[in-house]
Copies of this chain bind each other. A is one copy, B any other.
Amino acid sequence: MPLYALTLEYDGGPFVGWQRQENGLSVQQVLEEAAAKLNDGVLPASIAAGRTDAGVHAEGQVAQLTLARDLPPERLREALNFHTRPYPVSVVRAALAPEGWNARFAAVQRGYRYRILNRRARPALDAGRVWHVQHPLDAAAMHAAAQGLLGKHDFSAYRAAACQAKSALRTLDRLEVARLGDEVVITAEARSFLHHQIRNLVGTLVEVGFGRRGVEWPRRVLDSRDRTKAGQTAPAEALTFLFVRYEVEPEWR
């Protein structure tokens, strides 16, 4: 039974998130039901590199899928893109996975982008893709504050109450804040993230951007390990899962 790797793009708007849930349609369900049509009706179980929340988008989510049939990766990609219609889920690349590969546990780096539209006027073109923040943000101060969070730390202060990870120790490799015209774009990279970690980091950095808190504050919040100290959880719809990297990269088609 061949194991396939898939790179997925999706609009998180209409979904309850990656993971199957009772209360609505998930990306996982759309993918598995499309795959079942190529698998004699049998629903295959898929695993994703990141279980994105409701509303979170993906340009480069990676998932795995075992099928009973041997299909060239190009054909699997095309067939899945036929059967995932009309949902905004697209298989950008497919590969036969290397021996022992796992989409989630073999990942060595994950990247996300968070977009803030920082102007008075509400978004017309990017509604559902940005967090609309009307008060001016000092992106340079946010960036300076972010640099104090890099490295290996206990990120308990920035994890969700519902986070299921055993340890809150994570190594944050990159947290950059840059202004691009009316947008403030935050880029985050780590081997793995805690539940809501990026959205809690963004919600905290924004307090610095407003000038309500100093550049040192997000680090003090980190050191407190107390999640009641951090800023708000920033909205999901402005977050996009960009990429996953593996030690042994599948041969993407």
A residues at B contact (CB < 8 Å) = 9-11, 57, 59, 74, 77-78, 81, 85, 88-93, 119-125, 127, 240
A124:B78 contact, CB within 8 angstroms: no
A81:B122 contact, CB within 8 angstroms: yes
A-B contacts, 24 listed (Cβ < 8 Å): A9-B124, A9-B125, A10-B124, A10-B125, A11-B124, A11-B125, A57-B125, A74-B120, A77-B120, A77-B121, A78-B120, A81-B121, A81-B122, A85-B122, A88-B125, A88-B127, A89-B124, A90-B121, A90-B122, A90-B123, A91-B121, A92-B119, A93-B121, A125-B240
Main DSSP-derived SS at the A contact region? mixed
Q: How far is the CB of A166 from chain B (nearest CB, A)?
A: 33
B-chain residues with CB within 8 Å of residue A11 when the two chains form the complex = 124-125, 127
A117 to B248, alpha carbons, bound, how many Å?
A: 28
